[in-house]
Amino acid sequence: MPILPKQRDIFPEGLFDDSLAGSGEAWKSGRIACDEADVALPGCDDGEHRWFAFYTLSRREKDLMRKLEAAAVPYYAPLISRRLRSPGGRTRMSFVPLFPGYVFSLVDDSQRRIALASNTIARCLPIVDAAEFVADMRGIKRLIDDDRPLTPEARLESGQPVRVRSGPLQGMEGMVVKRQGEQRLVVAVRFLNQGASIELEDVDLEPL
């Protein structure tokens, strides 16, 4: 089965890592120099940089991601693997957006203008609660990095709030929902009212 190479879905690589902050002064300034670029820190509130959700034209997410990276503009647009069947019957593994149409970016005014000039964006939506958004996206990224079969959740449903007590996802919080005879852990992105879920197997949970 042919596997198409995965396009980079985050820039810089450690955009959500606390370790990027270095000293406390870096956090106060809202910027950090790394090997890839001088970028704004996640959730920073320096009066200049803000998180935005760029809602793209149809199927233009990857095009926008390439253009943002070329301009050293930080972004995250999580990609997940999917098996797709061609009209000829061949099956291939491809990487598709977890949240179709959305590319999230931390920008100042000049970087936002660069993004809007890419001719790929239909709407530019400010993210008001940056701290909540960053926490949610860290959870999504951790779920993807754990490399388990993952299901997009286009609409969130109610469930039992829990925290994982052991294993690779220890400390992660989410909602447990029961569906078709299985339990699933749903990690939400509250800004979108969407999320992603994995099946729970031999995981120690505690209610919140």
CB 196 within 8 A of CB 140: yes
Predicted confidence band at 176 (pLDDT cuts at 50, 70, 90)? very high
Helix (H/G/I), strand (E/B), else coil: 153: strand
pLDDT tops 80 at residue 87: no
Provide the strand spans (E) within 14-158: 31-33, 38-40, 50-56, 75-76, 79-85, 91-97, 102-107, 121-126, 151-153
What does pLDDT average to over the chain?
84
Q: According to the model, what pLDDT value does residue 23 have?
A: 33
**Hey, what domains does the chain have and what are their CATH numbers?**
10-145 (no CATH), 151-207 (2.30.30)
Reading phi first (left if > 0) and then psi (alpha if -120 to 50, else beta), residue 59 is in: left
Question: pTM above 0.75?
Answer: yes
Q: According to the model, what pLDDT value does residue 34 have?
A: 43
Predicted confidence band at 163 (pLDDT cuts at 50, 70, 90)? very high
pLDDT in tens, 39-81: 545 555 455 788 999 999 999 999 999 999 999 999 999 999 9
Of 3, 4, 8, the closest CA to residue 76 belongs to 8
CA distance 74 to 188: 22
Using alpha carbons, list the distances in angstroms from residue 140 to 24, 188, 204. 26, 8, 19
pLDDT tops 60 at residue 22: no
pLDDT tops 70 at residue 37: no
Q: According to the model, what pLDDT value does residue 3 have?
A: 53
Predicted confidence band at 38 (pLDDT cuts at 50, 70, 90)? low
CA distance 30 to 185: 33
Q: According to the model, what pLDDT value does residue 42 have?
A: 52
Number of C-alpha atoms within 13 angstroms, CB side, residue 180? 2
Q: According to the model, what pLDDT value does residue 93 have?
A: 81
